[in-house]
Amino acid sequence: MSILVGEDTRLAVSGLTGREGSYHAINNRRYGTNVVAGVTPGKGAQDVEGVPVFNTFREAVAAADANTAMIFVPPRFAADSILEAEDAGIATIIAITEGIPAHDELMVFNVLKRNPDVRLVGPNCPGVLSPGKANVGIIPAAFFKPGNVGVVSRSGTLTYQIGNELAQSGFGNSTIVGIGGDPVPGSSFVDIIALFEADPETELIVMSGEIGGSAEEEAATFIAEHVSKPVVGYIAGLTAPPGRTMGHAGAIVSGSSGGGQAKIDALEAVGVRVGRTPTQVAAIAVEILRG
């Protein structure tokens, strides 16, 4: 098993007819993901390398039985596209788009939370990869193989770095989930860690956080109460100056909140081992996996 995406995924891509959208969607299909539809208003009845394009998500669901959406449209259209996918009954929505206004993300989050059957991952994320099964997004799948380590991260490249070091030690992944670097992500560490805890294939969870917000502290509380599997942590941005946004819109220490050391302390207080470098994270995970 895996979480969020897998052999049952039937993917509809919003933005399939764009340059980036088509490049990555076709890459995903080449990996084995079942890409069943594109959604671009006004381009219905066209196709992109054999993938049929529909005017609306409702048509993509009705005609192609899509159950997962990937959002690849520019920021000003992204919130609308996410809401359209939810309205059409799509259960898993993965938003890659970077640069969506925070107020749009607030609105989307508060609309989606009324629907217990829908899950949004991202935005501003690299997507979700279940090695050997399906890849939805821009994660370079070649570095990863099937295995029992679940990874959840606010950063793409940092995930690849840690995942690659695990792979070099011979360990693969159940699923790799990028939750994104924005202030109001659709899914939090808590949401994804809960899915890994329930996933029989996942034996160890790696969570890679960073400065800004309090999602890591909330994860620590959740882990203490609900997680039986070992969790290894990492926090990026310990040396970042306060008040400065470090690349990701959400990576900022504001006043007394969002600092890296407090996150490490919160995780270690509940027994999560936190590596000080990505290499240490992989080493700790390998040590636990080898028992």
Partner 1 sequence: MDLLEYRGKQVLARHGVAQLPGSEATTVDAAVAAAEQIGFPIVIKAQVKSGGRGKAGGIRIAASIDEVREHATSILGMDIRGHTVRELWLQRASEIQSEYYAAVVLDRSAKAPLVMLSTQGGIEIEQVAAEHPEALATLHVDPLVGFHPFHARRLAYEAGVDAGVVRPVGDMLAAIYEAFVREDATLVEINPLVVTPDREVVALDAKVTLDDNAIFRHPDNATLDDDADVDPQEAMARERGLTYVKLDGDIGIFGNGAGLVMSTLDVVAHAGGAPANFLDAGGGAKAEAIVASVEVILSNPNVKAVLFNVFGGITRCDEVARGLIEAYGILQPTVPFVVRLDGTNDVEARSLLADAKLPNVHAEATMDGAAARVVALARGESG
Contact between 87 and partner 1 by CB under 8 A: the answer reads no
List of E strands, the chain:
11-14, 35-39, 47-48, 51-54, 68-71, 92-95, 119-121, 127-130, 134-137, 146-153, 173-178, 204-210, 231-236, 273-274
Contact between 156 and partner 1 by CB under 8 A: the answer reads yes
SS3 of residue 4 by DSSP: coil
Contact between 180 and partner 1 by CB under 8 A: the answer reads no
Q: Which helix (H) or strand (E) holds 141?
A: none
The verdict on whether 226 is a catalytic residue reads no
Contact 166, 285 (CB under 8 A): yes
Contact between 261 and partner 1 by CB under 8 A: the answer reads no
Residue of 181, 204, 223, 263 interacting with partner 1 (CB under 8 A): 181
Which residues have CB under 8 Å from 290's CB, separation 6+? none
Cβ density class 77-105: b for 16+ within 10 Å, e for less: bbbebbbbbbebebebbbbbbbebeeebb
Contact between 154 and partner 1 by CB under 8 A: the answer reads yes
Contact between 127 and partner 1 by CB under 8 A: the answer reads no
Give the residue with the Cβ less far from partner 1, 40 or 159. 159
Residue of 189, 278, 284, 289 interacting with partner 1 (CB under 8 A): 278
Contact 32, 83 (CB under 8 A): no
- Dist CA 38 CA 50 (whole Å): 10
Contact between 189 and partner 1 by CB under 8 A: the answer reads no
Contact between 138 and partner 1 by CB under 8 A: the answer reads yes
Residue of 14, 40, 135, 153 interacting with partner 1 (CB under 8 A): 153
> What is the rounded (10 degree) CA torsion for 220, 275, 124, 37?
-90
The 107-126 site mask, x for binding partner 1 (CB under 8 A), equals x-xxx-x------------x
Residue of 1, 62, 63, 106 interacting with partner 1 (CB under 8 A): 106
Residue of 160, 171, 189, 196 interacting with partner 1 (CB under 8 A): 160
Q: Can you give the binding site for partner 1, defined by CB under 8 A?
A: 75-76, 99-104, 106-107, 109-111, 113, 126, 138-140, 142-143, 153-161, 164, 181, 183-184, 208, 210-215, 218, 234, 236-241, 244-251, 255-256, 276-279
Active-site amino acid positions: 248
